[in-house]
Chain A
């Protein structure tokens, strides 16, 4: 059970949060101009890596804010938490 440092509320138990999948996948601005393959890439393709993964999380039972997390999937270490719209940490 993670202890997640919500950027708006502080440290809270994982059960207050909802995971929202891979982060930094932007919805295409002009979907109609995309081929089926390009659209499918956005719609379906997600990474599932062993190592540091960037994820979206939502403080669903708290402030309801979305934010991003860099998590090492091999040991569940949370490397960084940063707000929506912010760039992922480089290390």
Chain B
């Protein structure tokens, strides 16, 4: 039987709605409104996980997103499982299942717990130091380290949930719906600002809403009652959108924020169905009001991590908000007055408080008297030196602090308890503020980092701005809001405020123990098991930068990003190094504030939408004819068309032969096409291509090579002159967008005087490339009226024709070395024209071929593919394409660079052909080329860029770039592979039909 620690009805919990859920396989009950954490505590379950390194038993520490310990696997063993979810944020629903992480076989009996007793062997940097030697053993170590690394388990099937993105534009964004955020949002909206109010919790009101301190009053009412009325009024305000369960993850420049809105995680399974689970809000706000509140600090003392040790503020929230007692015998340990409020809250609900241990010498706050009246013993100027209890706290030992706070004196007092509330003061939640690029300043007296500046676009209000007490918060909020929104009056101006003030302060980052530090475990980062001892070790070993200490000790590197202990780490470093905390700075606060699911980040961009495909107008035909596809940029291109059970090699060999012996057809629609018009079009082409263009006659085509300004080949393609001032340029498939961008750049910025207009028409035309000795006969069947004689329609010329009344452009150009025609039809007629070619070509056994055959055929001819045979370091001269570089033109892009000392060097890597000594061996593309077999280290002369078995030559051919290759014709080189050295002979790049006789065959 589990114990029921529900102590008092709470207005935030619906006790008529009982909910069952499973934790570690066992069924428990809670109520609507409970979090997994509050429901577990109500069932007296504190042990929920094991720590990362030492596998120490850990319990619930907090009540919010800062939770370091209670991270669980939700819905384990299902496709919607989620690791590292914070039990303090999971709202329970009927059917919820969760389990502990980082323990085996169970959280109660965990084999890894042995690490705790071996802890002296695992100091900071243990892995770095130990597994370095001998070097060759790393692979063996890695297996075991990986096995024990990582928290939780990722799902191993597809995520079935739907995620979404939404853009929001608003005048004022308010982050955090505590008292400051609510008043700020309300006043912004009332003054006609389009306002958005976000809070990560499901209820508005922050910590004030469950405030029970009778000394805090607004207009003579309790602060919580007053705030509830304010919240009620929000419903009637126009211009105000409120989103709960929405956590701001990132705050980028220009008031661009990302927030995760959780829509269905709290619903039962059937209500989740077909609904969006989480939505990423992309918010552009004219003004941002940060009201993110403050996080309570723990205290750093020996064994401060046992289940049952919690933040004092969390204990208060569990009792006041959820109506749950965290323990039956409670102790508080504090350095400020706030723990007294928690203690009094418990006492007033009949929950036993044994004692309060305060490191201060005294306090004159009003609440002290109430604690005294309640008969709760206060130990002034004492500290906890040790705690007891393995899976649950059973007691603490306390001693008196010395005056300077560095040691303990007197005798040890032992007090038994099962819950300890620790209160180390408050840290303003400045995470989002710093993410936005704003700077912090250190308040030496209060030991807090606070925002340095407010701007016209951003302010921090409430406790995240360093105002902790009610009168301070409201007064400063009123003043700041009026300035920020440029309004004369707020609706809360002039309310009466009463509250207690804290006057006594004492801060000790690392509390002393009666034992030496080496024998203690004062945890600074609970999740990563980093102790104050580790930080001291890091400093002793010479680390000084806070960023280095963080990485060496892993402090602040868990899923909680050190929200609790980072300040203490800084404080301890400052103390030891003898510097001021303000000078030390902080580690960088990086987004996200709390972890995001991958689903939220990608939204709808999954599966087919992750990277969209482009398909040609003939795509359906390719699919029907069993094409295999290849991705080229975003395009899906036919790769080859296997017949029956042909392998790729067999299909390509067949296609290649057919294209040279009779007829082949290729879908070339993906080539980039740019329409160029204007009275200066010829001059423009002269400037962007290496060869001359002014004399190209209308109706003729020319191959052009485009360089970068550094002289390296950038793109190539055939451009056709359609009219006096009209050209159509083709580019490589992958280079189309970049070429257009580059040309636009020159036109707009360097040569604005040119009358030239560029339009991308890639998608407007479908291109069927007919190739082979019978292509002329096929084309003649399709367009009998067109004179295809070499005189009228020679190689490198163009005709505009009608095919079935469809206006088509036909270019007689060739990338295969065969007689070849490219038919360009309007995209919507692409498939029809293609079909027509196939029909007409049947009697010639027309063979559709894909990109692989195209590559093979052009390689036989030594035609380059930019991006395969070039890599941004090849000039036209390196490619042995001197013929295309005009010597007469005064200038073109990249010309000057061809005469730089480096590009003029004789022994640059140059494109050559390679023939293997054994004609049956096909080289691997990318393989290295050497000249000496027994040299160490061996000089790498170059690499293979294209390699195929040529069915038309019946031997292996390859293109390669080789240092000084031009001077190596006929030389024997080697291609070293894993088990053999392949002998190759340097050859001409043109392997087939060197005289280009087949173009007119």
Which residues of A does B touch, CB under 8 Å? 1-3, 13, 18, 20, 26-28, 30-32, 34, 36, 39-40, 43, 56, 58, 60, 64-66, 75-76, 84-85
Contacts and interface: CB of A to CB of B under 8 A. Distances in A.
Contact of B895 (A1, A32, A65): A32
Contact of A84 (B748, B899, B901): B748
Nearest to A65: B748
Contact of A32 (B744, B748, B896, B900): B896
A84 B749 contact: yes
B252 A85 contact: no
B437 A75 contact: yes
A58 B737 CA distance: 14
Interface in B860-901: 890-891, 895-897, 899-901
Given A27-B750, A31-B891, A36-B900, A43 B256 contact: no
A76 B744 contact: no
Contacts of B800: none
Interface string B747-770: 011101000000000000000000
Contacts of A1: 252-254, 256
B709 interface: yes
Interface residues of B, number: 23
Most buried by A among B254, B709, B891, B900: B254
B745 interface: yes
Given A32-B890, A43-B710, A66-B748, 10 more contacts: A3-B254, A3-B256, A13-B256, A39-B896, A40-B900, A43-B897, A58-B741, A58-B744, A66-B744, A84-B748
6 contacts: A1-B253, A2-B254, A28-B896, A31-B891, A39-B900, A66-B745
A13 B748 CA distance: 22
A66 B749 contact: yes
Contacts of B253: 1-2, 76
Given A43-B709, A75-B437, A31 B749 contact: no
Interface in B699-713: 709-710
B284 interface: yes
Interface string B348-381: 0000000000000000000000000000000000
B590 to A, nearest CB: 15
A56 B748 CA distance: 12
Nearest to A68: B749
Q: What 10 pairs across the A-B complex have the smallest Cβ distances? A: A31-B896, A1-B256, A3-B254, A66-B748, A27-B750, A1-B252, A76-B253, A39-B896, A66-B749, A36-B900
Nearest to B895: A31
Nearest to B747: A66
Interface in B707-742: 709-710, 741
A52 to B, nearest CB: 16
Contact of B897 (A20, A30, A39, A76): A39
A32 B891 contact: yes
Interface in B894-941: 895-897, 899-901
Given A36-B900, A43-B709, A56 B749 contact: yes
Contacts of A64: 744
Nearest to B257: A1
Contacts of B895: 31-32
Contacts of A56: 749
A34 B748 contact: no
Nearest to A64: B744
Contact of B896 (A3, A34, A66, A84): A34
Contacts of B899: 32
Interface in B771-829: none
Contacts of A40: 900
A3 B897 contact: no
Contacts of A31: 891, 895-896
Given A32-B891, A66-B749, A84-B752, A60 B896 contact: no
A27 B751 CA distance: 10
Contacts of B752: 84-85
Interface in B670-711: 709-710
A88 B762 CA distance: 37
Contacts of B901: 36
Contacts of A32: 890-891, 895-896, 899
